[in-house]
Amino acid sequence: MRSEFDPLHTAPLPDSFERTAAWLRQAPPPRPHRAPSVALAALLVFVGACSWPVSTTIAAGAVIELLSTDRIGVGHPTLATLDRLVPDEHQHMVELASVGEDGADGTIVRYAVLGADEPSVGRWRDTMAAQPGIQAVRVVDLDVIRRRPLGVSTVQRVLGVSSTPHLSDAQLQVELDRVLAETLPITIHVRRTASGERALDVGENVTLTLRPGARISQLPSRDSAMRGIAVDGLEPGGVSIAGRTIGPEGETPDTTRFEDARALEVALDSLSPDIARMIRDRIDANRLRVDSAYRGTLRADTTAQVFLFMRSDSLRRSLPRGARVDTVRRTLRVQTLRDSL
Amino acid sequence: MSPPASRDPDAFLAALRPHYDDALRYSRALCARWSPDEAEDVFQSALLQALEKHRTLRDPERFRPWFFQILTRTFYSAVRRHAVRRVLPLPTEAEAESLGLYADAPEPGAVADTLAVLGRLRAKERAALLLYELAGFSIDEVARIQGDRSASAVKSRLSRARSRAREIATRLGASTEAPSIHVIV
């Protein structure tokens, strides 16, 4: 075996020791090879970060939800109008739900459209809102959560590439249920306590007690992303939803509560046109979803208020003149003075 | 730039002298198929590191395995830099003064054939084979030089290296008209 290495043993070597010794005596100390290690570490971190899976929310489409006083079935003019409005490639699912006993109080139509741009959906919403018998229309964004490598997600975001995910009917149903479940109303109820204070019940096991003259400083919430808008300076008055007058409820005679996601439409109807337009614009611009609303006098003064509770981005940007914003924990309060509008 | 005062080149060179040729042969064979500049850079880097650390060597009797260990680790680092440079445009070190340790003229046939086979082995297998066969270290010493905890790992590595060398030699012999490669068995 060793004989195989004999050529290496016996190969002539240049007599280089003296040259090497002379070089070594004057050679500077070696520099550590830091650059490759740093560059390699940076490369590994970059590759690892790019492949790290992240949850990406992809806009898949929208659900146009209509509240009609009619009992809607196949062939109804409302559905025919929708079919004419929405191109075939965007039509995916229609869901009908009766309101009231045996549909006596109307029908909720949920029309899922996929891959349509936002302006088109807005036009369809406005067109449907003008149809006879339609009490309220809202658009719920249908987002799909997908796990993708961070690199792919970032590049798509930077380049503005948006890919509409393909959804089967079953997947669409799941996503639709999820989105609608997210917008389920939160029960909000104002009541007067035994000691005479007003208490605001938000959801389950959350109660906010309001002392006379005190401002809301904190609103506990089940959802940390919940935001609220309070509009002050309104005249008290009756509010109806789906043709039925709701409230006054509970022990507070001047308070109306809404436990339905359609509360936005009803709440806005009760506001002055300027304020309603301002709120709707801001909600649309910020792609907010209204979960619930109530109307009444929360504070111990005679000024009526409308509160809208949402679960999306804040309303911090570009507030209209005359609006004051009090940001408290988990709650953004927009207080619009009536005389400044 | 003047060398640091903490060095003792004379003592280091005195210790190096008896092992210089073996170390140079080992380094040449380790860097088989590399360019002479790259191969010489490995040897020079090892010399400089050894000179810097020579004062920390407690037992002068262990100079030989100690220096071969530095040489082997310097070679491993060079292999890693080689791999990184394939994908990253890393800056290269400043050109060191060439000492002419590696002849530009082609090696004699048998040496070239052996180096051709060695150059196709994995770095650690190549080092193990050369430490054992060329430098004459024992299995335990090879294990210490290569940073292995057990001698059995070195035995396995040597066995794999021999098998691979045999395959490579056969393949190289089959691919040329005149199969003059010695089969390392």
Spatial separation of the C-alpha atoms in residues A186 and A205, rounded to whole Å: 12
Helix residue ranges per DSSP H, chain A: 6-10, 17-26, 34-51, 77-85, 118-129, 150-159, 169-182, 263-269, 273-285
> C-alpha distances in angstroms, B113 versus A90, A315, B10, B26, B178?
70, 77, 37, 16, 12
Q: Under an 8 A CB cutoff, do A30 and B110 touch?
A: no
Q: B159, exposed or middle or buried, with CB in 10 Å at 0-12, 13-18, 19+? A: exposed
What per-residue confidence (pLDDT) applies to B63? Answer: 92
Residues 35-94 of A with CB under 8 A from B: 35-36, 39-40, 43
What per-residue confidence (pLDDT) applies to A266? Answer: 57
Q: Is residue A303 pLDDT above 50, yes or no?
A: no
Which residues in chain A have Cβ-Cβ distances shorter than 8 Å to B84? Answer: 36, 39-40, 43
Task: Write out the DSSP string of A230-285.
Answer: EEEEE-----EETTEE----TT-TT-EEE-STTHHHHHHHTS-HHHHHHHHHHHHH
A18 in B contact zone (CB under 8 Å): no
Q: Under an 8 A CB cutoff, do B1 and A28 touch?
A: yes
Of A85-94, A198-207, B129-138, the range with the highest mean pLDDT is B129-138
Q: Under an 8 A CB cutoff, do A28 and B185 touch?
A: no
The nearest CA of chain A is from the CA of B102 a distance in Å of 8
- pLDDT bin (cut points 50, 70, 90) of residue A304 is very low
Q: Under an 8 A CB cutoff, do B84 and A16 touch?
A: no
**Consecutive H or E run containing B160:** helix B151-175
What is chain A's mean pLDDT, rounded?
61
- Average confidence (pLDDT) over A149-175: 70
Residues 42-101 of B with CB under 8 A from A: 44-45, 47-49, 51-52, 77, 80-81, 84, 87-88, 90-91, 93, 97, 99-101
More confident residue, B163 or A229: B163
Q: Under an 8 A CB cutoff, do B185 and A31 touch?
A: no
What per-residue confidence (pLDDT) applies to A202? Answer: 47
More confident residue, A259 or B130: B130
What per-residue confidence (pLDDT) applies to B70? Answer: 93
In tens, the pLDDT along B40-84 reads 888 888 998 899 888 888 888 899 999 999 999 999 988 887 776
Among A26, A30, A40, beta carbon nearest to B52: A30
- Average confidence (pLDDT) over B17-35: 86
Helix, strand, or coil (residue B185): coil
Q: Are A121 and A139 in contact (CB under 8 A)?
A: yes
What per-residue confidence (pLDDT) applies to A172? Answer: 65
Complex prediction ipTM: 0.79
Q: Which residue of B has its CA nearest to A29?
A: B48
Spatial separation of the C-alpha atoms in residues A16 and A21, rounded to whole Å: 9
Q: Are B161 and B146 in contact (CB under 8 A)?
A: no
Q: Is residue A47 pLDDT above 90, yes or no?
A: no
What per-residue confidence (pLDDT) applies to A11? Answer: 74
- Average confidence (pLDDT) over A311-336: 36
Among B48, B77, B114, beta carbon nearest to A29: B48
Q: Is residue A197 pLDDT above 90, yes or no?
A: no
